[in-house]
């Protein structure tokens, strides 16, 4: 059972090495002294109002004092009003799951997909789950993957109701609890496609069976009952990511008839790439050597389902595509230049990047940080804050096409913003899952609330990259050509996005 919904990355200062942690805490072996005993865990235990208020205040304090992007898309007065009014409603004891429902919409105010509130590990490990994955297409919900024992249930059927509740009503109840970068709604739907089982469990209920009302691909309305499953995979967040990344995250092929190369990069994470026996730098070197030798005119970079990872990889790829010096980031900001007094609840005992020697002298230097005022990190803290230079040879000067979807996220979105701002690529597919202006990431705090044991993950660095002349700064990067495969094309694994791209290349004037 993984601990958090979203993958986390660390970036060590002064160089590009990044550690990806996926199924453990941010520091190996870390376990808070106050951790619960799973054998004695009681899901029905009710925490006192005093305990809930203490946990609530800690969440607010962490977001206000440590999160550099909490006011990026939410005004300070709105944040204050929401927290104040919600706090006044804390007047009765609650179970862990009730308190989770209570807090989740407040955490989502950060408008940050890397800011995640999780139930305790003990809660996550118990119970059964809904045995199907869903897919949102054209404002409808469809069945896409079947984990139940009922092999007769036809995938591609439209899901209309669960236990008598309209699916649209269920989705409307779940969406406010999901965090996403900026005002990017498509990322929330992508999260539900991966994690519907856990959100249903937390917000709707945990029946032993689920009565479904569906419409078959042939248009027939039918009802069926499926049993809840205790398959451990269903309790995992982003459970299909390993399948989508594949055995080999880095692939290359050429289509001679179109003078086209296709680079399929399903991950920027070092661990996932290493598990495939691959090295990113070698992949880039060999790929662009072939592109140069074979005089390729068109390059398709397929970043669909690439959830991000190491920024070095994204920057290294861009350096082969752009022939002039550039800035990878506009700047990095942090929320404070003072020590945090709640680190005993976290995976850190000291945060180096908050030290004043790493922050710009002209930054705000008051004892109490004003709402919305951050501190700018000095350019020598990270190498990539300095001017970046292209590859001295084999810079590709032909046509670049980037394929992306709602699961293209984090470092992948930074890469897309950089390409957009330099007008270096044509984007095809779906709106990317991240924010166009950058992300909150870098170093992460993993906070365990002392009473309810809910886990709050908060990024400590605001990485800003504003794409010039992009009109939708509060969204993700929206493609020049939106291509949305139908549900049956997805069920049948037909790649309409790639087909569209290759058709466009075939119709383009030859140089």
Instruction: Give, for all 511 residues of the chain, the pLDDT tens digit.
Output: 223 333 333 333 333 333 333 333 333 334 444 456 666 889 999 999 999 999 999 999 999 999 999 999 999 999 999 999 999 999 999 999 999 999 999 999 999 999 999 999 999 998 999 999 999 999 999 999 999 999 999 999 999 999 999 999 999 999 999 999 999 999 999 999 999 999 999 999 999 999 999 999 999 999 999 999 999 889 887 888 778 888 899 999 999 999 999 999 999 999 999 999 999 999 999 999 999 999 999 999 999 999 999 999 999 999 999 999 999 999 999 999 989 999 999 989 889 888 888 888 544 443 344 555 799 999 989 888 999 999 878 899 999 999 999 999 999 999 999 999 999 999 999 999 999 999 999 999 999 999 999 999 999 999 999 998 899 999 999 999 999 999 999 999 999 999 999 999 999 987 6
Q: How many CA atoms lie within 13 A of 491 on its CB side?
A: 20
Closest CA to 116 of 455, 476, 492: 455
C-alpha 264 chain-centroid distance: 19
* Contact call for residues 141 and 193 (beta carbons, < 8 A): no
DSSP classification of residue 307: -
Strands 399-404 and 426-429: parallel
Q: Supply the pLDDT for residue 264.
A: 98
**Calpha distance 337→348 (Å, rounded):** 16
**Calpha distance 463→475 (Å, rounded):** 16
> Where would I find the H helices in 319-370?
none
Q: Supply the pLDDT for residue 355.
A: 87
* Contact call for residues 432 and 417 (beta carbons, < 8 A): no
Percent of the chain as helix, strand, coil, to the nearest 5? 30, 20, 45
Torsion angle defined by CA atoms of residues 175, 181, 182 and 185, in that order, rounded to the nearest 10 degrees:
-40
Q: How many CA atoms lie within 13 A of 120 on its CB side?
A: 24
Q: Supply the pLDDT for residue 31.
A: 43
Q: Residue 273 belongs to what H/E stretch?
A: helix 270-275
Please, which residues have CB within 8 angstroms of residue 191's CB and are 6 or more apart in sequence?
A: 5, 178, 180
Instruction: State how far the alpha carbon of 271 is from the alpha carbons of 241, 282, 309, in Å.
Output: 13, 15, 9
120-112-83 Cα angle (round to 5): 70
Domains observed in the chain: 8-122 (3.30.750), 132-229 (2.30.42.10), 240-322+395-434+480-511 (3.90.226.10)
**What's the 3-state SS for 394-426?**
CCCCCEEEEEECCCCCCHHHHHHHHHHHCCCCE
> Where would I find the H helices in 90-159?
96-107, 121-124
Q: Residue 44 belongs to what H/E stretch?
A: none
- Return phi, psi of residue 186, to 5°: -65, -30
SS3 (DSSP) at 158 = strand
Q: Supply the pLDDT for residue 369.
A: 47
Measured between its terminal Cα atoms, the distance across the chain in Å is 53
The crossing angle, in degrees rounded to 10, of helices 96-107 and 49-66 is 30
SS3 (DSSP) at 167 = helix
Strands 250-255 and 455-464: unpaired
- Return phi, psi of residue 216, to 5°: -70, 165
Exposure string (b/e) for 203-220, b if CB count within 10 Å is 16 or more?
Answer: beeeeeebebbbeeeeee
231-180-496 Cα angle (round to 5): 75
Q: Residue 501 belongs to what H/E stretch?
A: helix 496-507
Instruction: State how far the alpha carbon of 346 is from the alpha carbons of 26, 53, 327, in Å.
Output: 10, 19, 33
């Amino acid at each position: 059972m993984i601990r958090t919904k979203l993958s986390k990355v660390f970036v060590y200062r002064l160089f590009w090495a990044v550690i990806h942690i996926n199924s453990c805490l941010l520091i190996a072996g870390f376990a808070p002294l106050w951790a619960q005993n799973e054998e004695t865990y009681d899901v029905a235990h009710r925490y006192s109002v005093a305990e809930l208020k203490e946990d609530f205040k800690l969440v607010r304090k962490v977001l206000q004092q440590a999160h550099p992007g909490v006011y990026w898309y939410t005004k300070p007065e709105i944040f204050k009003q929401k927290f104040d009014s919600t706090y006044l409603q804390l007047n009765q004891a609650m179970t862990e799951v009730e308190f989770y429902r209570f807090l989740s919409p407040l955490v989502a105010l950060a408008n940050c997909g890397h800011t995640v509130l999780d139930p305790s590990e003990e809660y996550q490990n118990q119970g059964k789950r809904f045995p199907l994955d869903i897919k949102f297409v054209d404002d409808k919900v469809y069945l896409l993957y079947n984990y139940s024992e009922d092999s007769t249930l036809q995938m591609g059927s439209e899901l209309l109701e669960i236990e008598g509740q309209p699916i649209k009503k269920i989705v409307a109840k779940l969406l406010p609890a999901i965090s996403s970068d900026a005002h990017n709604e498509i990322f929330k739907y992508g999260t539900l496609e991966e994690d519907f089982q856990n959100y249903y469990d937390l917000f709707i209920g945990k029946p032993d069976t689920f009565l479904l009302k569906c419409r078959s691909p042939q248009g027939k309305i039918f009802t069926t009952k499926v049993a809840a499953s205790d398959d451990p995979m269903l309790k995992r967040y982003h459970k299909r990511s390993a399948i989508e990344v594949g055995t080999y995250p880095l692939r290359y092929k050429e289509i001679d008839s179109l003078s086209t190369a296709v680079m399929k990069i399903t991950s920027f994470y070092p661990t996932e790439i290493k598990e495939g026996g691959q090295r990113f730098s070698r992949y880039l070197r060999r790929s662009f050597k072939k592109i140069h030798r074979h005089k390729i005119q068109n390059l398709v970079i397929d970043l669909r389902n690439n959830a991000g990872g190491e920024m070095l990889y994204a920057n290294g790829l861009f350096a082969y595509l752009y022939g002039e010096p550039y800035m990878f980031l506009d700047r990095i900001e942090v929320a404070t230049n003072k020590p945090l007094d709640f680190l005993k609840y976290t995976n850190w005992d000291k945060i180096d990047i908050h030290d004043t020697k790493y922050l710009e002298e002209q930054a705000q230097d008051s004892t109490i940080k004003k709402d919305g005022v951050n501190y700018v990190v000095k350019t020598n803290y990270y190498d990539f804050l300095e001017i970046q230079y292209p590859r001295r040879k084999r810079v590709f000067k032909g046509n670049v096409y980037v394929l992306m979807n709602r699961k293209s996220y984090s470092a992948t979105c930074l890469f897309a913003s950089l390409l957009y701002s330099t007008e270096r690529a044509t984007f095809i597919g779906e709106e990317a899952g991240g924010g166009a202006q950058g992300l909150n990431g870098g170093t992460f705090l993993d906070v365990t609330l002392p009473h309810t044991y809910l886990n709050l993950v908060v990024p400590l660095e605001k990485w800003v990259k504003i794409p010039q002349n992009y009109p939708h700064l509060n969204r993700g990067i929206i493609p020049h050509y939106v291509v949305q495969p139908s549900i049956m094309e997805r069920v049948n694994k037909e790649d309409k996005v790639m087909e569209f791209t290759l058709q466009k290349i075939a119709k383009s004037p030859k140089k």
